[in-house]
Amino acid sequence: MAMAALRREGRRFAPLISPRPITAVRSSPLYPTLEDEGPLGLRHISTQVVRNRMKSVKNIQKITKAMKMVAASKLRAIQTKTENSRGLWQPFTALLGDLPSADVRKNVVVTISSDKGLCGGINSTSVKISKGLHKLNSGPEKETKYVILGEKAKAQLVRDSKKDIELIITELQKNPLNYTQVSVLADEILKNVEYDALRIVFNKFQSVVSFVPTVSTVLSPEIVEREAESGGKLGDLDSYEVEGGETKGEILQNLAEFQFSCTMFNAVLENACSEQGARMSAMDSSSRNAGDMLDRLTLTYNRTRQASITTELIEIISGASALEG
């Protein structure tokens, strides 16, 4: 039985041992051999390597084309939602203005990014802008913290700003995006993070090929009061009568929270749209590159094939003419 096992082992190892050790010496160890020997010592140049490459490149092209189609259909679905949600943040900006240059002690940068990759450079842009905001708002007694939505920003920010990260949220798009989910998220952030100003960094979807990095600022009620008293942009906020509630502060608190959840909702939708659009264009250029590569490989393949046929013919003819004398 041991002998039978050994014989079986021997048979398995046999194909690995080259029958012609001379070929092994001739070909270079780094580059796969293009030549093998047929009967009568005829040399055929092997097109196997090129053929394998062509097959894999063709598969990659099919996959990226399919990914582009999938991204296009997802984009269509989410684009209508995004455009409908654009009216949501405008009343807040009309009332409270937009003060990205407000000088505050506690900044929180909410970076929105995608979970999946292969979507071009939009996540890197968001992270760069977030880091820029961190630098912009650095100073004595000032601190900037990060709240990260999405795996891609987490991977990039964990590397050098680990101590500044307050909260990380991933798998946002597992269920279709809706306002309830985002308002629960906003509630979590507001509960766990102390803030004077929240800056939401996202990519605004302008068209299928253009995504503009944008930062929306939501100020806490105390800062709003401060800015209103000091005049300037928010100066006429005091002229607004505040109905209901015991104090103006209570209403302003609710207002700030509502503003945050509305701007978050719009920001998350816009970023999701931008992600699908960026993925579409990335996959499109990738399948185009694969197509170019395939063309080049096809030319090489044909050249190799024709060269080997020519070599064969020459050898046969010269052999025949040598025999004739």
> Interface residues with other proteins (CB under 8 A)?
81, 84-95, 97-101, 128-129, 132, 135-136, 179, 183, 201, 204, 212-217, 233, 236, 239-245, 251, 254-255, 258, 262-263, 265
Q: List phi, psi (to 5°) of 112.
A: -105, 130
CB of 160 to other proteins, least distance (A): 16
Which residue intervals of 48-194 are DSSP H helices?
48-85, 90-96, 122-136, 151-160, 179-192
Give the C-alpha separation, 84 to 87, whole Å.
Answer: 7
Locate tokens 């990060």: which residue? 146
Smallest distance, Å, CB 177 to other proteins? 10
Q: How far is the CB of 181 from other proteins (least distance, A)?
A: 11
Return the number of the residue (236 or 292) whose C-beta is nearest other proteins.
236
Query: Using an 8 Å Cβ cutoff, are 277 and 270 in contact?
Result: no
71 vs 256, which CB is nearer to other proteins? 256
DSSP reduced 3-state for 74? helix
Residue 199 and residue 110 in contact, taking contact as beta carbons nearer than 8 Å: yes
Q: Which residue, 201 or 273, is less far from other proteins as judged by CB? A: 201
Tokens representing 278? 């960026």
Give strand pairing partners of 217.
Answer: 199
CB of 62 to other proteins, least distance (A): 37
User: Please, what is the minimum distance in Å from the beta carbon of residue 80 to other proteins?
Assistant: 10
Nearer to other proteins, 74 or 131 (CB): 131
Whichever of 67 and 223 has its CB closer to other proteins, that residue is 223
